[in-house]
Amino acid sequence: MNPSKTAIIYVTPDIERALGAIPGELTVSGHNIGEYFIVASRNAYAEEIQKLYPDHVTLVNALDTIDILKLPEVKSLFSEIAKKKDAHLLVFKNSRPIEELAKENNWHLLNPSADLAEKIENKVTQAEWLGEFASHLPPYQILEVKDIVPARDAKEKFEPFILQWAHSHSGDGTVLISTDAQLADLKQKFPARLARTTRFIKGPTFTVNVSVSSTATYIGNINYQITGTLPFTDNPWSTIGNDWSVPHTILTEAQLAAAHQLITDVSEKMSDSGWTGLFGIDFIHDEERDELRLIEINARQAAGVTFESLLQETNRAHGVAGVTMFEAHILSLLSTISPDAQGALDKKVIEVNDGAQIIQRVTAAIMMTGKLPDVIPLIAAGFTCIQYANTKPNSHILRIQSDRGIMLAHNKFNARGKEILDTITGMKSE
């Protein structure tokens, strides 16, 4: 097979984000899509990957995408690749500064526009952008904080509700308001700030990765979202993991059909708006009302994509046909400029119904004691462990991956999950 004339250069601080495809010549369904390069921050795990693919992995001493892109050695790398190939830049999450830097250096950026991503993710503008599909959201109001009036039951008891600021990530912009005093405090601090309010919904949350282009939609495999579990995070709204083994146990066939309609509607809106490539959809099963509600659209490659793609690669090795979600991302982004990508666009997504990952975030206890989880027992038990040097509160410090599920049901670990929990806490769970 002849080498491709296309090069994709993925720049990210976290190399794990880019490992949905093997560095080197990227072949999908018999089509040579392009030569794949990674530029990432240096750490122990990244150095292991670089040893395997020294010609296609470059490591640098910078911890932010924009800082990596400004490095002279990275600019030189782009220039060298561009002399031989039609080079394209890909980042995990786009921003206006990245777009400006790409324009300044005459780099072709594959990611959709940062302004479109902002419109989609912003909790205030999102409802208007969704249009008719805003019906998938829980009933909501968009108000300045000073104008929020809480609902009360027949006994005048305060009814808890969810408040979301325009921007949030990993749950940091989501607040459960459960008392008058809590609301009064926010009104005093942020009287004129716009927020979206919805009723508090109890039930399991799910995520699906989707990739779209103008001509194709790739819908990934629904996974159960592990959220806010101690001791993995201090934030009750932070996503700490994904499990592909339990959605079909938790959701009925009718609920899965409703989920598919929700996913299809949002995907159609994304495509019609000019989005290309990956995005993530989070939805919740309202157990009280037995209905599904859209709670989040992540207009970027979601954190679970790489591991879903690795699980798909394993299934393909056992004879399952189709493309991985990371391959779908590349195909979608290149579809308008690469005939080879167009030729591979008609393939289905590889199914996944097992596997899980869970993340230990930086908690107050870790910051206070400096004590990190012991990975040796986890590795000995067959789990894959990826460690990070992050120190910011709620940032990733350890990623634990399993080719089998770790959840038994909503908020309930199975034996493998308990093994992880026991190791992290140093205690035996019941």
Q: What is the pLDDT of residues 308-320, one digit of tens each?
A: 999 999 999 999 9
Determine how many CB atoms are found less than 10 A away from the CB of residue 375.
Answer: 17
Which residues partner with 359 through β-bridges? 399
Do 150 and 102 lie in one domain? The reply is no
Angle in degrees, 0-180, between the axes of helices 114-121 and 96-104, rounded to the nearest 10: 170
Q: Which amino acid is at 29?
A: S
With a cut of 70, say whether residue 142 has pLDDT above it. Answer: yes
With a cut of 60, say whether residue 167 has pLDDT above it. Answer: yes
Q: How many residues does the chain have?
A: 430
Dist. CA 282–CA 207, nearest whole Å:
4
| Angle formed at CA 28 by CA 266 and CA 220, multiple of 5 degrees | 25
**CATH code where residue 11 lies:** 3.40.50
Dist. CA 413–CA 419, nearest whole Å:
9
Query: Quick check: helix, strand or coil at residue 43?
Result: coil
Task: Out of 27-36, 118-127, 339-348, pick the least confident.
Answer: 339-348
Yes or no: say if 326 and 21 are a contact pair by the CB < 8 Å rule.
yes
pLDDT of residue 427: 53
pLDDT of residue 103: 98
Domain-terminating residue out of 173, 199, 225 = 199
Do 40 and 85 lie in one domain? The reply is yes
pLDDT of residue 4: 73
On whether residue 418 sits in a domain, the answer given is no
Yes or no: say if 293 and 137 are a contact pair by the CB < 8 Å rule.
yes
Do 106 and 143 lie in one domain? The reply is no
pLDDT tens digits, residue range 43-63?
999 999 999 999 999 999 988
Query: Quick check: helix, strand or coil at residue 189?
Result: helix
Do 53 and 97 lie in one domain? The reply is yes
With a cut of 60, say whether residue 303 has pLDDT above it. Answer: yes
pLDDT of residue 211: 97
Do 90 and 44 lie in one domain? The reply is yes
Angle in degrees, 0-180, between the axes of helices 325-334 and 305-317, rounded to the nearest 10: 110
267: confidence class by pLDDT, cuts 50, 70, 90: very high
pLDDT tens digits, residue range 6-19?
999 999 999 999 99
Dist. CA 308–CA 312, nearest whole Å:
6
pLDDT of residue 409: 97
On whether residue 177 sits in a domain, the answer given is yes
pTM score, two decimals? 0.92
pLDDT of residue 2: 58
Dist. CA 91–CA 98, nearest whole Å:
9
Dist. CA 332–CA 25, nearest whole Å:
17
Burial group, residue 157, by CB count within 10 angstroms (0-12, 13-18, 19+): exposed
For the chain, the domain total comes to 2
On whether residue 251 sits in a domain, the answer given is no
On whether residue 274 sits in a domain, the answer given is no
Task: Out of 104-108, 113-117, 336-340, 381-385, pick the least confident.
Answer: 336-340
Do 32 and 78 lie in one domain? The reply is yes
The residue behind tokens 């992050």 is 390
Share of the chain above pLDDT 70, in %: 96
Do 144 and 107 lie in one domain? The reply is no
Dist. CA 246–CA 234, nearest whole Å:
24
Pairing mode, if any, of strands 6-12 and 412-413? unpaired
Domain-terminating residue out of 199, 225, 241 = 199
On whether residue 66 sits in a domain, the answer given is yes
The residue range of the domain holding 17 is 1-111
pLDDT of residue 307: 97
24: confidence class by pLDDT, cuts 50, 70, 90: very high
The CA-based dihedral angle spanning residues 414, 417, 418, 422, taken in that order and rounded to the nearest 10 degrees: 180
Q: Which residues contact 260 (CB under 8 A, 6 or more apart)?
A: 219
Dist. CA 209–CA 310, nearest whole Å:
14
With a cut of 60, say whether residue 171 has pLDDT above it. Answer: no
pLDDT of residue 281: 98
pLDDT of residue 155: 87
- DSSP one-letter string for 41-94: E--HHHHHHHHH-TTTEEEES-SSHHHHHHSHHHHHHHHHHHHHSEEEEEESS-
Dist. CA 408–CA 209, nearest whole Å:
22
On whether residue 423 sits in a domain, the answer given is no
On whether residue 73 sits in a domain, the answer given is yes
Determine how many CB atoms are found less than 10 A away from the CB of residue 412.
Answer: 10
pLDDT tens digits, residue range 188-234?
999 999 999 999 999 999 999 999 998 899 999 999 999 999 999 99
E strand segments, 330-411? 356-361, 384-387, 396-402, 407-409
Domain-terminating residue out of 199, 219, 245 = 199
pLDDT of residue 336: 79
Determine how many CB atoms are found less than 10 A away from the CB of residue 90.
Answer: 24
Dist. CA 171–CA 423, nearest whole Å:
25
pLDDT of residue 21: 96
pLDDT tens digits, residue range 233-266?
999 989 999 999 999 999 999 999 999 999 999 9
Task: Give the residue-averaged pLDDT of 102-115.
Answer: 97
With a cut of 80, say whether residue 347 has pLDDT above it. Answer: no
pLDDT of residue 168: 60
pLDDT of residue 67: 98
On whether residue 107 sits in a domain, the answer given is yes
Dist. CA 175–CA 181, nearest whole Å:
14
For the record, the structure tokens of 125 come out as 């503008």
